[in-house]
A and B are shown apart, each in its own frame.
Chain A
Amino acid sequence: MAEYSALSLLKNALSGNRDWKPAWRKPDPKPSYDVIVIGGGGHGLATAYYLAAEHGITNVAVLEKGWLGSGNIGRNTTIVRSNYLLPESLRFYEFSMKLWENLSHELNYNVMFSQRGVLNLAHSPGQADAFIRRGNAMRHSGVDAEWLTPQQIARKVPGLDTSKSARFPVVGGLLQPRAGTARHDAIAWGYARAADRRGVDLIENCEVTGFLRTGDQITGVSTTRGEIRAKKVALAVAGSTSRVLQRAGIERFPIESHVLQAFVSEAIKPFVDCVVTFGAGHLYMSQSDKGGLVFGGSLDFYNSYAQRGNLPTVEDVMSEICAMFPSVARLRLLRSWGGVMDMSMDGSPIITRGPLPGLYLNCGWCYGGFKATPASGYSFAWTIAKDEPHAINAPFTLSRFERGAAIDETGHGPIPKLH
């Protein structure tokens, strides 16, 4: 299949764009594979890609119950960052950041990673200390971080209320210059196309309805398109983790599914050039290349598998964006939507072998799965291929709760809705 490039665009334009081929095949499932990845979202597709690209395992199927990228990969606010506090998180997300920086080339697909910076605003001396602690942790781990004064922030982000009379005046901000945004759907499509080119079967409209087992050992899955056997079955189904595990007989698991809403305004000319987050509440916003302000806030705060939220959260989010940018009050909300988050008990993911032999698990991404996509796929593929974790996902086990080794970035403890 042809490489994508300016030249190929030109060539195809001359022939009326009639020669473009499908970005990926639409194969029927084979009776068996070396590895089945359940979940054709960002993480599942990335896992399949790295299995093929890094480990030469190409006899792989990705099973997706709907259309590829129909989960949170296509519903998020597109932020990519590695501005974490704890060493385990820093190591993981910085690894991901490095993959991001070369991802368009690696996939031969422009994922539009725009390293425009992520700025976290602090609104009290205590919060500033906490952010500086985080920024310093980043710098000690070799990750870029800067502290900006309110004056520097006012210059960098016009329109932001940096006045002293603000209800929660900005006292400073933590900037990660290498962080930014990417085109969310392109990640799914880029990984899908690259995995497909290496022989991976991407099978849409194929829902897993049960697991095939020999004793405890998982030996395949039954699906709406028949039984498919595999030596290894890997789960990357985010908000559906509990539902799928229940089909394997695991009734209780350290995940709750919650709905998170996201919002986009009408398109306007360039308004804000970096990602900005509000510290006196919970709000993150950036501007898409099309011009819409893309933003989100907290969860709706109740268990949900519906991809739709309710009005109180909408109103909270709108209040906060107006507090940050008083001129945004005049702009209009174009669309809102919801995604189902796999909220874990400490806010950190689980990427591990188990919990049954032959099964591999990737879940617990809370709000943060998008930026993790490359590292998640990379380390999950490693774990599946080698039956041992990569250094970056070694701490993200299921047994960490038993040991008391939670990786709790926010310090909220085992209350999933608060992470």
Chain B
Amino acid sequence: MLIDCPHCGPRDLAEFSYQGDATRTRPDLASTDTKAWLDYVYHRPNPAGRHREFWQHAGGCRAHLVVERDTLTHEIFTVSFARKTSGGDAA
């Protein structure tokens, strides 16, 4: 698998660290809604097909990326920075 890091270019899977589902939303910092916390920490859609997920380019620029990938075929559709400002920062 090759991931096209927007900062470093296409790099091998071995350089990246998988950081899981990117569709979860963390409750507000101060939230005391245990159900919301449980959902955030433990529950995943785990789709068979298109999956939005985080990868960190750990062996490269270290930016976290949002990757859209098919979990059935491993085909990668899109790659972008997780943090919109990362491009500037990392450069």
CB distance A242 to B42 under 8 Å?
no
Q: Is B43 an interface residue (CB 8 A)?
A: yes
CB distance B71 to A306 under 8 Å?
yes
Q: How many residues of B contact A (CB 8 A)?
A: 27
Q: Is the interface of B mostly helix, strand, loop or mixed?
A: mixed
Which of A256, A312, A401, A414 has a CB less than 8 Å from the CB of B46? A256
Using A306-B73, A306-B74, A415-B20 as known contacts, say yes or no to A402 and B38 having CB atoms under 8 A apart: yes
Q: Is B53 an interface residue (CB 8 A)?
A: yes
Which residues of the partner chain B approach A401 to less than 8 Å between Cβ atoms? 38, 41-42
Q: Mark B2-42, 1 if CB is under 8 A from A, else 0.
A: 00000000001110011011000000000000100011011
Determine which residue in B41, B44, B69 has the highest number of CB atoms from chain A within 10 A of its CB, and name it. Answer: B44
CB distance B53 to A302 under 8 Å?
yes
CB distance A312 to B12 under 8 Å?
yes
Which residues of the partner chain B approach A255 to less than 8 Å between Cβ atoms? 44, 46
Which of A246, A252, A305 has a CB less than 8 Å from the CB of B72? A305
In the assembled complex, how far is the CB of residue A212 from the closest CB belonging to chain B, in whole angstroms?
22
Q: Is B51 an interface residue (CB 8 A)?
A: yes
In the assembled complex, how far is the CB of residue B3 from the closest CB belonging to chain A, in whole angstroms?
10
Q: Is B88 an interface residue (CB 8 A)?
A: no
Which residues of the partner chain B approach A240 to less than 8 Å between Cβ atoms? 48
CB distance A256 to B20 under 8 Å?
yes
Using A243-B48, A302-B53, A312-B14 as known contacts, say yes or no to A252 and B71 having CB atoms under 8 A apart: no
Using A310-B1, A401-B38 as known contacts, say yes or no to A304 and B71 having CB atoms under 8 A apart: yes
Q: Is A417 an interface residue (CB 8 A)?
A: yes
Q: Is A209 an interface residue (CB 8 A)?
A: no
Interface size class of A (residues with CB under 8 A): 20 to 34
Using A306-B72, A310-B13 as known contacts, say yes or no to A345 and B42 having CB atoms under 8 A apart: yes
Interface residues of A (CB under 8 A from B): 240, 242-243, 246, 251-257, 301-306, 310-312, 345, 401-402, 414-417
9 A-B pairs whose Cβ atoms sit less than 8 Å apart in the complex:
A242-B46, A303-B21, A305-B71, A306-B74, A310-B1, A345-B42, A401-B38, A402-B38, A417-B18
Q: Top 10 closest A-B pairs, CB basis?
A: A242-B46, A312-B14, A252-B43, A254-B42, A305-B48, A302-B18, A301-B18, A401-B42, A243-B48, A305-B71
Beyond the given pairs A254-B43, A257-B48, A303-B71, 20 more chain A to chain B contacts, judged by CB atoms under 8 angstroms and listed by A's residue number, are A242-B45, A242-B47, A242-B48, A243-B48, A251-B45, A252-B39, A252-B44, A254-B42, A254-B44, A255-B44, A256-B21, A302-B55, A303-B18, A304-B71, A305-B72, A306-B71, A306-B73, A306-B74, A310-B13, A416-B20
